[in-house]
Amino acid sequence: MSSLRNAVKRKTHKERSQLSHRKHLGLLEKKKDYKLRADDFHRKERRLRALHQRADFRNPEEFYFKMVNTKTKDGIHVVEKEHVDEEVKKLIRSQNIGYLRMRDEIETSKIRKLRERLHFLGELGGNVEDSAPPPPNTHTVFLSDGEDDDDDDDDEDEDGNAGKTKAPVNKASRAIANFDKAKFFDTTEAFADRAYNRPRTEQLQQGQLLVSGDKDALKAAAKARRKAYAELEARLNRQDKLRRAMAHMEMHKKLSGKGRRMKISDGGVGAPAVYKWKAERKR
């Protein structure tokens, strides 16, 4: 029977709204609103009662060691800063500089490894969608002048005239004409024109490399390349911030030392100011 009673549609009871002539007083307060307001009022009342009780039973001769460095100024509780010796400050700054140097070395090592690895995440066929265009890099190759090939230039000609040389030959043009890119870079003709991602013949024989026909593999490689370059950019920014912080701390350390100095100019964006110390004779 209970299931049938729940199946029958019941009358929807609507909440009473504010009367029209009392709308200027705002929304009509319901019991749940009054309950929240009353609980908040009683909570504050209990807290004030507890504070009054603590003030009534307070010992006027009560003392804590923290009272030495605290006081009330114009009704505001003020905590005096603890005095630190100048030698202790210098030691703390030197430790901070040492930590920043260590972090800078770690970032430099990771950036170097990333750059070495990113040479193999370059152009992968050129047909990948949303792939960035390759950078306009240049690779200069120094060729030999071909002196070994021209040893017989001073030999006798067909008529037996010794000592007479042949017509001068443009050695540079001949070296450029005989230059084989695939043989020089130890790769195939298909990979010879690439600026990076240029595997050697041994790597082609041992491992499987990406080909331009596999679009899924190319997209995954392009995604890995973008992620790696984003990480490299983030690490370069972090290294720049570390080195600027080190420059500021080094300058602060020098300014805390002895010697007359004069300010030359303000620092640039994020850089410390430039000072010039007076030259002093060392005993």
Q: What's the Cα-to-Cα distance from 213 to each of 96, 119, 225, rounded to whole Å?
A: 53, 21, 18
Which segment of 5-14, 130-139, 150-159 scores lowest on mean pLDDT? 150-159
- Number of domains composing the chain: 1
Whether residue 14 lies inside any domain: the answer is no
Query: 70: helix, coil or strand?
Result: strand
Whether residue 217 lies inside any domain: the answer is yes
What pLDDT is recorded for position 99? 87
Token pair of 247, please? 């420059």
Q: Flag whether the pTM goes above 0.85.
A: no
Query: 248: helix, coil or strand?
Result: helix
Whether residue 121 lies inside any domain: the answer is yes
User: What length does the chain have?
Assistant: 283
What pLDDT is recorded for position 105? 93
What pLDDT is recorded for position 158? 46
Whether residue 165 lies inside any domain: the answer is no
Whether residue 112 lies inside any domain: the answer is yes
Whether residue 241 lies inside any domain: the answer is yes
The pLDDT tens digits of the residues spanning 44-90 come to 999 999 999 999 998 888 888 888 888 888 888 888 776 667 777 77
Whether residue 77 lies inside any domain: the answer is no
Give the contacts of 239 (CB within 8 A, at least 6 positions apart): 104, 107, 108, 111
DSSP 200-249: -HHHHHHS----TT-HHHHHHHHHHHHHHHHHHHHHHHHHHHHHHHHHHH
The pLDDT tens digits of the residues spanning 140-156 come to 888 776 554 444 444 44
Whether residue 122 lies inside any domain: the answer is yes
Which segment of 135-144, 157-166, 219-228 scores lowest on mean pLDDT? 157-166
Residue 228: which domain range? 91-131+188-252
